Amino acid sequence: MPKGIKKIKFVSIANEANSSNSKFSPDRWACVPANKKAHFHIKEWHNETTDAQKKGKIYWIVLDKDRKNIVDRLECMTDKLFSYKIPKNLCGYPYYIEASMTGKPDSSFTGLFLSGYCDPLIVSSAWSRTRGGKTIKNKDSQNFGLAYGEVVHFHARTEGINGEIVVIEVHNEMWNGDYKMRTIYNVEVKDGQINLEIPNTSQWKAHIKQIQDNEEFYVKIKRKNGPYLKDKEGSDRHGQYLNIKNQLKAVNKTKPSNQTPLIIGQPNTNIARVGSCTFKQIKINEIDEFPVFVDGKTKVKPISTTPLEEKHFIFFDFGKTGVRGDAQSVLNPLISLLRANQHSRIIIDGHADERGPGNYNLKLSQDRAEAIMNFFKSNGLESSKFECHGHGESQLKHKGTNLTEAQHQENRRASIRFNYYENTFSPIVFETIAPFAGKTKKLTVSAVGKERKGCRGRHKDEIKVLDGTISKTEPKNTITYPVNANIGDDFIKNYILYFGKYINYFSSIHKSYYFYINSCTYYPQDNKPTIHVKTYPDIVWLAHGKYDYEEDYFFHNHSLSLQKGLAPEFESLIDSIYKWTSLSMVDYMAKRVLLDYIKAEAQKIEIGLHAIHNRTQEKKGTALSLTGTTVDFIAQTKYTKYATSAAMYGFVCLQIVIEILILLLTRGRSGISKLKKIKKLAKGLKKLKKVMDSLPEDVEILGPSMAYRSGLYYYKQADGRIALVWEADLKIEPVVAVEYKKEFDLLDYITDKTVKDKITGKQKQKDFEDIRDKAKGTYEDKLNNIAASISIVGGISIEQNIKYNFLTKSYAFSKQAGNFYDEARGVVAYGQYVKLAAEVKLKMAYEDFIFGLIYHKFEGNLEFKGSALIGLYQSYGKDTEGFYIENYISFSGLKVTLSAKAKLMIIKYTIFDVSTEDEKGKPKEYELLAPDRVRLFKIYLLKI
């Protein structure tokens, strides 16, 4: 089921965009006045959304009208209004507003469209030779300008028509009236601007009658099916005038094209950013150290935004061109920014006041612009592109005859204009595994090589961390902050709920922390986080199951307590059911018989449901640690114990109920067919019985013995990412097997062989038993016991191991410790095997007495065990060539263990006390024959 925001709504606010000044259609669109804030809030949530999510953080996203590109994104709490204002130049274009819990746009329609409105207007217009170049508008009719055939660019700034398609008409002003030279259709207004490249002006010349040495051109702009657009003075003539001299220049014919709205020049986005207000690295230290940011390199790519434009003014002394000391305080901070954008186009416009001849002022203003250019170049900006223009007194800021010296000073200026990119990244996401239930983990975040020289903003030598509504600032370059996971103290009580979140991809199981490390060069916006830390709960979920399996079979060989039988819980459950359903003696007896049967079978079943949390965490990429707090859900939660008990016995009860229903529905007819099947089965059983009867008493048919183990956990990979990993192993050993086992007493064997054959007569058996008992008694005074056994098992086994990584969507099949055959990379491996085992035990004790006291005492123990296994196995798998079947013989090796102890005491003194066991009392193991594996053949079923 979906969860999250289902719909948003437009909120009417007094003195802002409201129901009186705005037009809107509920749930679809809103049209608001320019520069008035439009406010939005969540209207409806999906049913599956939790209360915690409804009170948490969300993202408000602004997209273009096609809902493909993100224009703006803001993170805030769910109870806050989102406000967005559309300036006049962007009015007319419909933006799409929506709210998201993930920060990613929703595929379904959950938001609404927002557009601004104002009166349509052409704010300014100009001609240039190149895109964003110097204006070539001429008032002097003798300044002829371009030649016919040259490329010309037309630029206009607009209001109220952003995103529209307009028509451009090129007009020529003639003596006998205006003449439309050319019409250009489908011109798009982008970001409130018209940028049109017009080649082939040679075609204009052919339309002009009585052509003059200099012709003047202008344009009219018309909306589709609308009137001509006007400027502030009410004129529909724009770009007055473009002068073209009566000359023809040959150029290639091309069509007019829309241009991106860039005036000054675009910096190179691939250049490495440098600067003096910066830092070199960011490191995070937990168990391991992770450099998440190194010299501008991070796994997060910079956000591509429109270049930012800066404009600065420098002032000069009267009649001077030298850069003053107070000007250097403005220029020096710009050097680091311009170094970071060395391929920007930097335009410097020089100006003079009106006190001086025109030609003198023109050269003076040009020299002032070039003086600033030379200042930048002398500080290492040789590779930047400078354009210097002297305007004389043509663009005075203050005009008049009674200007003050301060006003003259503002006229004696130079403006510096350039575009640049800030290194604006998305937050660096750092994932970690953290404890909970009152415990925390320390996370140390360090900024290395921080410098604040030439800082152009409010950046400080500090690191700030935001933890929900809690904020902490450390006035240093390192901060250590305790973090934990998003699980409460009710973990054991509500573990099913937490497990559901754990396996749900769309749940917010992680907890977020935000760290702010800002500089002019990297992450300059001090209201946007640098690092987003996500903490995942430190839990390893474990499940175990065994049926008639005696050996240990634990996840990663970590021993746990398993529940066996659970008969009392099930008996209580059955008593409750029968108490309310039936009181007949037949039902009661059936219940007792059934219960006794199930209780006996239950002793073969062992089940475990555990979790290990707040562990001693492993380092990245190393073996999983299982040292921590262990929770036994069956033992510690009553409802789990009863649910497990019901699951263990339910399948037997269900089978009986189904059988009874079949008999009732078929009125016993199915019972007849069952009798026939049983009769046929009985014939088979008779044959099987004959075979069994013919087998020696020491031969036994072994039934299936099964074991299962699995684990689900978060794991920090070598690359630092957190992966959800699931491991599961199933082992059936045997599926079916035949065992020959012989145990005998060597003392009996020796007595039989040395005494029995020498006795004759009618009382042979009785005489033998008397003699044997006396002989054994004599021996046993000195030699207490000599026993031996031999075991041979032949059978079929199956074992399947799988490990799946949900992050990388990859799986692996691996051999776990304790398997008797070598690793197979196949999905399933099975085989036939023969297992041999032999054992000899000897115990000896001897004592001498003098006057009733022990004179000397000897004790000796010897134990010898040997085992080997050989099997024929087959595995199914996949490698780089395809899917295959592989057959091989595996030999486990011949291993023996030897344990020997001897101790001699005379009176109370120990003469010697020796043992072959180690310090922990374990016998030594010797490998007489090494393990080996021989591949018989490998067949590919399907090549890839």
| Phi/psi at 525 (5° precision) | -80, 105
Of these ranges, 201-205, 323-327, 603-607, the one predicted with the greatest mean pLDDT is 323-327
Structural domains of the chain, count: 6
Block residue for tokens 């023969």: 834
Provide the residue range defining the domain that includes 348.
308-420
Which residues of 717-755 form beta strands (DSSP E)?
722-745
Q: Cβ neighbours of residue 595 under 8 Å, at least 6 residues apart?
A: 570, 571, 574
Please state which of the ranges 106-120, 256-270, 383-397, 929-943 shows the lowest mean pLDDT.
256-270
Please write down the long-range contacts of 21-30, taking CB distance under 8 Å and 24 or more positions apart.
Answer: 27/112, 28/112, 28/113, 29/94, 29/112, 29/113, 29/114, 29/115, 30/112, 30/113, 30/114, 30/115
Q: Has residue 300 been placed in a domain?
A: no
Angle of CA points 670, 675, 680, to nearest 5°: 130
Which residues of 851-893 form beta strands (DSSP E)?
853-878, 882-891
Residue 462: strand, helix, or coil: coil
Q: What is the DSSP string of 93-142?
A: --EEEEEESSSS--SS--SEEEEEE---EEEEEEEESSTT--B-B-SSTT
Q: Cβ neighbours of residue 716 under 8 Å, at least 6 residues apart?
A: 431, 432, 433, 618, 620, 621, 722, 723
pLDDT at 231: 94
Structure-token pair, residue 391? 């305007």
Structure-token pair, residue 498? 């937490």
Give the confidence band of 820 by pLDDT, cuts at 50, 70, 90.
very low
pLDDT at 782: 45
Whether 592 and 513 map to the same domain: the answer is no
The whole-angstrom separation of Cα 187 and Cα 514 is 45
Neighbours of 559 (CB within 10 A): 9
User: Which residues is 24 bridged to in the sheet?
Assistant: 30
Q: Has residue 440 been placed in a domain?
A: yes
Give the Å distances, CA to CA, from 90 to 7, 85, 699.
25, 10, 92
Q: Has residue 817 been placed in a domain?
A: no
The whole-angstrom separation of Cα 208 and Cα 173 is 10
Whether 330 and 358 map to the same domain: the answer is yes
Structure-token pair, residue 812? 């692996």
The whole-angstrom separation of Cα 442 and Cα 927 is 48
Give the largest CA-CA distance in the chain: 160
Q: Has residue 273 been placed in a domain?
A: no
The whole-angstrom separation of Cα 616 and Cα 538 is 10
Whether 113 and 66 map to the same domain: the answer is yes
Q: Has residue 765 been placed in a domain?
A: no
Residue 233: strand, helix, or coil: coil
The per-residue pLDDT for range 119-136, each reduced to its tens digit, is 999 999 999 888 777 888
- Is the Cβ–Cβ distance between 314 and 331 less than 8 Å? yes
Give the confidence band of 157 by pLDDT, cuts at 50, 70, 90.
very high
Structure-token pair, residue 388? 């210097």
Give the Å distances, CA to CA, from 558 to 538, 627, 684, 796.
17, 9, 45, 27
Neighbours of 400 (CB within 10 A): 9
Whether 665 and 545 map to the same domain: the answer is yes
Q: Which of 537, 572, 607 represents a domain boundary (last residue)?
A: 537
Residue 529: strand, helix, or coil: coil
Structure-token pair, residue 793? 């098992």
Whether 546 and 533 map to the same domain: the answer is no
Q: Which of 669, 692, 723 represents a domain boundary (last residue)?
A: 669
* Secondary structure element (H or E) that encloses residue 208, with its range: none
User: Cα 18 from chain centroid?
Assistant: 42
Amino acid at 554: F
Of these ranges, 666-680, 721-735, 815-829, the one predicted with the greatest mean pLDDT is 721-735
Please state which of the ranges 35-49, 356-370, 376-390, 822-836 shows the lowest mean pLDDT.
822-836
Block residue for tokens 């190194």: 294
Q: Has residue 740 been placed in a domain?
A: no
Give the confidence band of 657 by pLDDT, cuts at 50, 70, 90.
low
Whether 167 and 61 map to the same domain: the answer is no
User: Which residues is 302 bridged to in the sheet?
Assistant: 425
Strand 932-943 relative to strand 909-915, pairing: unpaired
pLDDT at 748: 61
Residue 790: strand, helix, or coil: strand
Strand 165-174 relative to strand 177-188, pairing: antiparallel
pLDDT at 33: 95
The per-residue pLDDT for range 904-939, each reduced to its tens digit, is 776 667 766 778 787 777 787 878 888 887 777 788
Measured distance between the N- and C-terminal CA atoms of the chain, rounded to whole angstroms: 38
Structure-token pair, residue 274? 């440098």
The per-residue pLDDT for range 398-444, each reduced to its tens digit, is 888 788 989 999 999 999 988 766 666 778 889 999 999 889 999 99
Nearest to 870 by CA among 919, 933, 801, 810: 933
The whole-angstrom separation of Cα 929 and Cα 716 is 40
What DSSP designation does 67 have?
S
Whether 579 and 658 map to the same domain: the answer is yes
pLDDT at 769: 62
Q: Which of 87, 117, 147 represents a domain boundary (last residue)?
A: 117
Whether 558 and 664 map to the same domain: the answer is yes
Give rounded-to-5 percent helix, strand, coil for the chain.
20, 45, 35
pLDDT over 70 at 264, yes or no: no
- Is the Cβ–Cβ distance between 37 and 16 less than 8 Å? yes
The per-residue pLDDT for range 582-627, each reduced to its tens digit, is 545 445 555 555 566 666 667 778 889 999 999 999 888 788 999 9
pLDDT over 50 at 71, yes or no: yes
Whether 145 and 230 map to the same domain: the answer is yes
pLDDT at 588: 53
User: Which residues is 722 bridged to in the sheet?
Assistant: 716
CATH number, domain with residue 187: 2.60.40
Q: Has residue 788 been placed in a domain?
A: no
pLDDT at 45: 92
Give the confidence band of 458 by pLDDT, cuts at 50, 70, 90.
confident
- Locate all alpha helices (DSSP H) within 603-737, ordered by sequence: 633-636, 638-665, 669-694
Block residue for tokens 């006396």: 774
What DSSP designation does 582 have?
-
CATH number, domain with residue 111: 2.60.40.1930
pLDDT at 260: 38
The per-residue pLDDT for range 717-759, each reduced to its tens digit, is 888 888 899 999 888 877 766 676 766 665 565 555 555 555 5
Of these ranges, 130-144, 374-388, 771-785, the one predicted with the greatest mean pLDDT is 374-388
The per-residue pLDDT for range 3-18, each reduced to its tens digit, is 889 999 999 999 999 9
> Rounded mean pLDDT of 259-283?
58
- Is the Cβ–Cβ distance between 531 and 282 less than 8 Å? yes
The whole-angstrom separation of Cα 229 and Cα 737 is 95
The whole-angstrom separation of Cα 451 and Cα 278 is 5
pLDDT at 754: 54
| Phi/psi at 750 (5° precision) | -65, -45
Whether 10 and 78 map to the same domain: the answer is yes
Q: What is the DSSP string of 216-263?
A: EEEEEEEETTS-B---TTS---EEEEEEEEEEE--------EE--S-S
The more confident residue out of 146 and 420 is 146
> Rounded mean pLDDT of 272-283?
73
Nearest to 396 by CA among 351, 360, 427, 431: 351
Length of the chain (residues): 944
Whether 575 and 652 map to the same domain: the answer is yes
Whether 38 and 66 map to the same domain: the answer is yes
Q: Has residue 286 been placed in a domain?
A: no
Please state which of the ranges 64-68, 464-468, 790-794, 852-856 shows the lowest mean pLDDT.
852-856
